[in-house]
Amino acid sequence: MTVDDATGEPAAEAFDAAASDAPVDALATRPRFARTALLAVVFVCAACGLVYELALVSLGSFLIGNTATQASIVLAVMVFAMGIGSLAAKPLQPHSVTSFAVIELLLALLGGLSVMALYAAFAYLELYTPALIVVAFVLGLLIGAEIPLLMVLLQRIRRQEAGAAVADMFAVDYIGALIGGLCFPFLLLPFFGQLRGALVVGLVNAAAGCFLVFVIFRKSLRRTQLVLLSAAAIGVVAALIAGLALSSRFEVTARQALYRDPIVAAQRSAYQDIVITESRNGAGADTRLYLNGDLQFSSVDEHRYHEALVHPAMAGRHSSVLVLGGGDGLALREVLTYPGATDVTLVELDAEMIRLARTDSRLTALNRGSMTSPRADVVTADAFNWLRGSDERFDVIVVDMPDPDDSATAKLYSTEFYAMVRAHLAPGGRVVVQAGSPYFAPKSFWCIASTMRAAGLPATPYHVDVPAFGDWGFHLAGTDGPVAPMVDAPTPLRFLSPEQLSAATVFPIDRQPLDLPPSTLMDPRILRYAQGEWATY
């Protein structure tokens, strides 16, 4: 080993000689082009690696919810595995070309099929989290082994100081990660979806690795190595293409395994997985809507939920009404039964949900065409941001949001959100909030009450029986203080009566109010409560 006289450290050429399996000049192209091509491959590999990470996080948030936990698991496991992979790559450096080829093909195959494998584990085996940890660890291991091997290959093309080589390598790597991070939400998800997007990235990953090995460093390979690696590359590409060809059929089959009844409509929007099922029996059809696997309503008893949600708030002045959420149009249907409701606005985040509520015959039959009513202004927007940018005031505000079991919805159950809701109430106005089950999720239910109270909306809690959900609760408040639920509907209701509402405000001894601190944007207690309670529901 030669030693640098100035530093006493091993000279760079000693590192290069030990870390190569062929002479430095064993290149199929000019060194300058070879070096540029290698850095381009580093760029592509970094982009693909980050997409694999984001795909795992995104899939978990769609299937499980709880985005923060999913992101923490994936990132922690993958970063740890990347460190292990970097160490594991040290003995592979004398065979850097063949080792890189094998690692890149494995990464392309496993990364491309990762979403499909995890979806299958979720749909068929109910082993999603253990499978996620294994997949994240294996992918991190392979990603971590890339950089040390690419560093060796870079030095084989042109020897340079270690610091300069590291700077060049990581600069390109970080830029690639940036591009991969931007391509995932703005290109891959909208055009390919999660399943096919991962497969497409796997093909890109395989192509980049094959280009570096079979074009730039092919002279470094013996004939036997070239034949074996070529066969492996063909096999990997064939498997990924087959995955693309079968992905639609697989997704339909796996999705159906998650639901009891036949799926009659399914759509993956930018925000959620929308599924409509329908079963028929002697009593008629039962149409059900699911968002990210969570039941939103059953047509058999949805009227019990929506009557209890809307009508107590409408028993007063109600010429102007705001509905936040409720993109299926069922709460809006109940609002529009009041002829005096002349100025009605519905704010829904998901444009795809609005489209289905307007065009799907099953939904339009249930919502009675409310989403296309000339009396209703349907706005596609995030409710939180819409409230921040609006100065309108309403007599009634109906908050019909999904349960707060992930970070995206937890902000809609915060003190800050309810303070904005109060600011948009006209004098004497009312607000009603769907608050989950006081029986299955008591901490979440009573935390919403304390959060509304902290925002100046002391609420009256009440609960009703909705067979599809169980015991379900709501909070009704007014600008002038607590409001007693009452019904003054212009037409007879199918479920709700004054006697039933009076009973609905009574809670059994074992379901008395809990004194809990409010939930805020900076301390989303509601998220912790909901994740813990709904996980066992």
- Best CA proximity match to 349, nearest among 409, 436, 434: 409
Cβ contact 165:154 at 8 Å: yes
Reading phi first (left if > 0) and then psi (alpha if -120 to 50, else beta), residue 436 is in left
- Best CA proximity match to 475, nearest among 497, 448, 509: 448
Q: How far is CA 147 from CA 11, 39, 203, 210, in A?
A: 21, 11, 20, 16
Other C-beta atoms within 10 Å of 187: how many? Answer: 14
Q: Any known ligand binding at 382? A: yes
* Interior/surface letters 226-245, b for 16+ CB within 10 angstroms, e for the rest: beebeebbeebbebbeebbe
Q: Any known ligand binding at 499? A: no
Cβ contact 300:311 at 8 Å: no
DSSP 132-148: HHHHHHHHHHHHHHHHH
Q: Any known ligand binding at 272? A: yes
The rounded distance, in Å, linking the Cα atoms of 289 and 297 is 6
Q: How many CA atoms lie within 13 A of 131 on its CB side?
A: 20
**Tokens (6 digits) for 144:** 């971590």
> Would you give the DSSP letter of residue 382?
-
Report the Cα 508 to chain-centroid distance in Å.
Answer: 37
**Tokens (6 digits) for 455:** 């925002």
- Best CA proximity match to 209, nearest among 228, 173, 236, 184: 236
C-alpha distance across the termini of the chain, in Å: 65
Long-range contacts of 80-83 (CB under 8 A, 24+ apart): 80/137, 80/140, 81/136, 81/137, 81/138, 81/139, 81/140, 81/141, 81/143, 81/144, 82/140, 82/141, 82/143, 82/144, 83/144
Three-state secondary-structure class, residue 461: strand
Q: What are the strands, taking DSSP E only, across 209-335?
A: 263-268, 273-281, 284-291, 294-298, 320-325
For the chain, counts of helices (H) and of strands (E): 18, 12
The rounded distance, in Å, linking the Cα atoms of 203 and 209 is 10
In the residue annotation, 510 being an active-site residue is answered as: no
Q: What is the residue type of 266?
A: A
The rounded distance, in Å, linking the Cα atoms of 406 and 149 is 39
Catalytic entry in 21, 350, 400, 403: 400
Alpha helix stretches (DSSP H) within 258-406: 302-314, 330-335, 351-359, 361-367, 383-389
Active site members: 400
Q: Which residues are annotated as a binding site?
A: 272, 306, 328, 348, 382-383
Q: Which residues are annotated as a binding site for S-methyl-5'-thioadenosine?
A: 272, 348, 382-383
Q: Which residues are annotated as a binding site for spermidine?
A: 306, 328
